[in-house]
Structure 1
Amino acid sequence: MLVRGDTVFVRFLAQNDDGTSFEVQTPTRPEERIRTGGGLTVGYKLPVNQKLLFSVAETLAQENHLQPEKKVDRFQNNCISMFSITIDQGKTIQDEVNEEWVTRFFELYDAHGISTNIIEPSMVDIYSDLCVEDGEDVYLSDGMYMRPDGTTYER
């Protein structure tokens, strides 16, 4: 998942058992508990403005010359499938999803002046306090990492 604060913006759904093929889509429902490593974490909520989320997902896919697709999950919740990705054995989804894509996603989302779900400056300050080398992701705990912009993700 691509998360910021306590909100999930993008899901990477495994499409096969060996974990090498993923569908990249907007989340369809909040998660009450997420399994990370050996434990469970507190869940994530959906962005307040789903219409904006869908618009950003479609725009980002189109900017990358991909064809976004409107879908419905098994619970009849709408989502946007941005693209599918296949990774090589031994690599992780983080190896394949580049920082520019993540940065552009949040640029598009934040450009609409939404006051909710914006990272508090303190998240960037926390990153600054924890980082060993500027620009490198910081390992937090239980497979969670923090980027220089304060976003967190699971590896």
Structure 2
Amino acid sequence: MKREYIFLGCIFIGIVMFFMFNKTDVYGEYSTDGKPRYNIKIMDNDKAKLIIDNQIVTVNYEEKNDRLELVQDDVYRVYREGVTEVYFEPQKDDKLLYNVVQNGEKITIGEYKKIEGSNGDSGEPSVFWLTIKSMFYGLVIFGVIMAMWIFIFSYIRKKNDHSG
């Protein structure tokens, strides 16, 4: 019976490790020269911040075919007419290509270098860790309630044994 618990514990630890280390290296801040003032920030919550005309614009993206494609609604909201697709292509050496498809023609806006030490943290907690935390709190509450029930029933049983 103890082997089953050890096996389940190993599976649980394996799942936690998989989700913990499954982050892509694309997340982070990018600038044209790699210096600490970013032009593009790819965050871990499927959002990106872009600086367009000296304005910070937040857009949503989806990971498709080894590239990050901006959601179509954001493309129409942010870019001028004729732009039908906007995507980022991660390159080797921590670089990112910023591409736009306008009037059927692919145009590369630029190549951006990742800013050293940036990780693209959005500041929002991960849903996975919130779930694990809630499960842990539920287990603690369940344990406290069970301990109270055991204490109450053992007290009642002890009282009945002495009186009978």
The TM-score, its normalising length taken from structure 1, stands at: 0.25
Structure with the bigger RCO (C-alpha within 8 Å, sep 6+) is: 1
The structure that is helix-richer by fraction is 2
Larger radius of gyration: 2
Q: TM-score, normalised by structure 2?
A: 0.24
